[in-house]
Structure formats: C-alpha cells, structure tokens
Amino acid sequence: MEIFDLTIHEMHEKLLAKELSSVEATRALLARIESVDDRVNAYITVTPETALAEAEAADRRIAAGDAALLTGIPVGLKDIFVTKGIRTTCGSKMLENFVPPYDGTAVARLKAQGAVIVGKLNQDEFAMGSSTESSYFGATKNPWNLEVTPGGSSGGSAAAIAAREATATLGTDTGGSIRQPASHCGCVGLKPTYGRVSRYGVIAYASSLDQVGPVTRDVADAAIMLGAVAGYDPLDSTSVDTPVPDYLAGLGAGVKGLKIGLPEQYFIEGLDPDVKRSMDEAIALYKSLGAEIRAVSLPHTEYAVATYYLIATAEASSNLARYDGVRFGHRSEAAKGLAEMYAKSRAEGFGPEVKRRIMLGTYALSSGYYDAYYLKAQKVRTLIQQDFLNAFREVDLLLTPVAPTPPFRIGEKLADPLQMYLSDIFTIPVNLAGTCAMSLPAGFCKDGLPIGLQLIGKPFGEEAILSAAYAFERETEWHKRNAAL
C-alpha cells in the first residue's frame, strides 16, 4: 500500500509508531498531486513550501507526545475557505488574486490539531453548480472516468480523495455540494446540521443553507474530521452552542432495532436502474443487520427544488453584491466612469452560472415580486422542514439515493440548467430542513462509476448516521475500491 492510499486513522497509527513521518507523508501526497493532477484538475493552488513547514512542526509535536488525531495528516481545502496568506479564489475570476489576511474557523481548528494543508481545491464558481464545470480554472474530472463529472460544487474535494491526492478534504454543502460529489467519486461525504460547524471564514453563497463538512475515504475518517471542526463559534451568529459528541467512539453502536425510513417521494419512477439496485441491496443489508425498515412520506418534496432556487439565489444576490471592483474583487480596466466600472467589473468577473443566479435572486427580491416568490418560498421551506420532523417521530433516520443517476458526462447538462439543477433533487430538501445527512459508497453502475447511499439524520443526529454508515461499511467492500488513474 502506498502512503497516499492510507486513511487518516491508518496514517495516524503509523505516525505514532514512527513508521512514517509527516514530512514523508506530505512529500508522498505532493508527489501524487504532481503526477496525476494535470489530468484530474482537483487543485487550484498547491502549497508545497508551507505544507512541508507544517509537516516538520507536526513531526516535532508527535515527538513531544502531543499528537492529536489530525497531527501531520495532509488535508486539502475547498477554495471557498479563507486561508491566511494562501490565495482563495472561490473558483472565480472575481477573486483570482485574493489573498486573505486570516484563517476561517474550520481551517484554524484543523491547524490547531496539527493538520498539514497541502492546497486549495477546485469548485464550481462561488459554489454554484453540480458538476464543477463552472470553475474559472477549468472543469475537474472524475478519477473513475476522466470524461465524466465528479459532481459539484465540491468536485475538487471529492476528486482529490478518489485520486488519492489528499488524505482528507473539507467541502461545503448548500444543496448537496458535499454529498453528490462524494457519491459520484466513491467517497464518504458528510453534511452536518446547520449550525454544527462554524461558517466564519467561508465565502458565502446562501447563508441560511451553507454548511461545512468533510469528504473522506471511510466513515471513521469522516467522524475524525467532523470532531475536529464541529462546535460553537462566537464569530458565527448561526453557530449552535451544543456539546460535540465523540463521534469516533460512537461508531460501533450498530443498527439492531434501529428504525430506518424510506421516503416514498425519493423512490420514484425514472430512478436509474443501477441506483435502484444499489438502494435495494443496501435496504436488504440493513434488514439483515436487524434494522426495521418503514415507509414514510415527505409530501412537500416536489416543491424543494423550486423553493431552493428562490431562496438560494436571493441570498446569493445579496451576498455577491459586495463584489463590485471597489471593495472586493476584479476591477475592470476598460471603464470610463464609476457606474461603468461597477457594471464591467461584475460582467467580466462573474461567469454565466453566477450571473444567472444573481439575476434570478434579484428578480425574486425585487419590489412587487418579493411576496409572490421569496416570501412564499420561505413558507414552503417551513413545510418541508416540518415533513422531516414528522418523519423523525416515526423513524430514527432516513435512507435514500444521493442522486437519481450515476455521474454524467462533462458538458452533458451545460446547455440545460434545469436538468443540472434536478441533479440535486434528493439532497436539496435536507439543506432546506437544516438537518444532517451523509453519502457513503454503495455500489457501481454498469459503466463502473460509483453510486452513493444517503443517510439522513435528525437535527444534530450526526452520531446516529455515522454509526449506521459504519455498520454498512463493515459489511461491504465498496469503499475499498480505488479509481485506476
């Protein structure tokens, strides 16, 4: 086994046993990035000098007997996380040369454990997309097949794990942006409950929906990463002050007697046959492990995509108003006056998908349309949230597909934005409800591409979905397969 194949917990054991140094691990990951990333395009910025300096510091910490679980572990960050002294682009020309003066909270918490930051990962521009094709820095390719997308918007975070270019990564999930790429790349991806992880230092797309989470090789690694970044932060007013469990210690709880709900609205006609087969096999496995399977209903699911694309775009319109060429972002050199400078800077700095969403959101918030669109969407959001709360009175967690199809080809949906938006039909409701969910490898389609299983938990129920995922993982081999780059 190569160093870059190791999980966090495997690498941690080798570091403690002095079988491996963090410098050796970091050099191995940097060499791997150099050898394969010209084909995958998972990274926007690689930071070898600072990474090796952090690795040397981690080795000193390990030698002193002060190692945390992430000390010396090479980690990649979605390029939406503000990082002190490291370019942070959000996948956009608008922020092509932005170097922040501070670290966001999630980044600071990883660094406090001694994690080694090897670089910043590619994403859809301002996290707006489902395929990582809208990035100003070019599309990320899926390591399982370089002609298909890795999903999005955290496509670089998932592709880096599948290509073994990072031991773990952090992404963000606004409507499925961790879970869908994790599904498409054969990784574990966890979207925590809204408020569980601080958003301070995360460049905002839709502030009431965005949430930070890990993408990893297995469930134990996801538990380790979540434990490192979760917890109250006074710098984020939406952060919730509630205790953080020991997620790793709770993994062995099993599923015997657990009530697992199957939402009838998620098992629909038109579901890809390979996806349906993988779900059926997962359900049968959970039954064999002693779980009780029940049908449940989430009746307002059909309105979720429309609701999301009103709320998210409205919030994006507001959040992205700051990028005007004066306070932040690209400034046009061709403008003659102030008004022209604003218009040209934004026209040149933003890509087509970001412009589309800003216009949608501005329209939804405009005078005469606010009540008809944005306010109505917020009311429907409340109904969707209530659907989940009602379901969780009957069951402990929900089991669904992550996406209706396996990964699609690069360019396949670019001409039809609505088809692209429907890629997230099974993930968006979770963000609207504000609860937690995760994707884990559950099979492969006939073309050899990964398929993910989604487990949805109660608010702050990350422990339950992690232990249920761990029980599934112990009985299957899907997570052990590697993309043959």
Annotated active-site positions, please? 78, 153, 177
Which residues are CB-contacts of 19 (< 8 A; sequence separation ≥ 6)? none
The amino acid that residue 230 corresponds to is A
Buried b or exposed e, range 312-336, using 16+ CB within 10 angstroms: bbbbbbbbbeebbbeeebbbbeebe
- Cβ count within 10 A of residue 472: 23
In residues, how long is the chain?
485
Measured CA to CA, the distance from residue 161 to residue 224 in angstroms comes to 16
Q: Are strands 188-191 and 436-444 parallel, antiparallel or unpaired?
A: antiparallel
Cβ 223 vs Cβ 198: under 8 Å: no
* Distance between first and last Cα of the chain: 16
Cβ 200 vs Cβ 229: under 8 Å: no
By the 10 Å C-beta count (0-12 exposed, 13-18 middle, 19+ buried), 272 is classed as middle
Buried b or exposed e, range 183-215, using 16+ CB within 10 angstroms: bbbbbbbbbbbbbbbbbbbbbbbbebbbbbbbb
Please name every residue paired with 436 in a beta bridge, in sequence order, or none if there are none.
457
For residue 29, give Cα distances in angstroms to 24, 97, 201, 485. Answer: 9, 25, 26, 15
For residue 312, give Cα distances in angstroms to 127, 235, 237, 265, 400. Answer: 11, 23, 19, 22, 23
| Phi, psi (deg, nearest 5) at residue 63 | -60, -30
Which residues are CB-contacts of 78 (< 8 A; sequence separation ≥ 6)? 120, 121, 123, 154, 156, 157, 169, 170, 171, 172
User: What long-range pairs does 232-236 form, CB within 8 A, spacing at least 24?
Assistant: 232/198, 233/105, 233/198, 233/200, 235/105, 235/198, 235/200, 236/105, 236/198, 236/199, 236/200
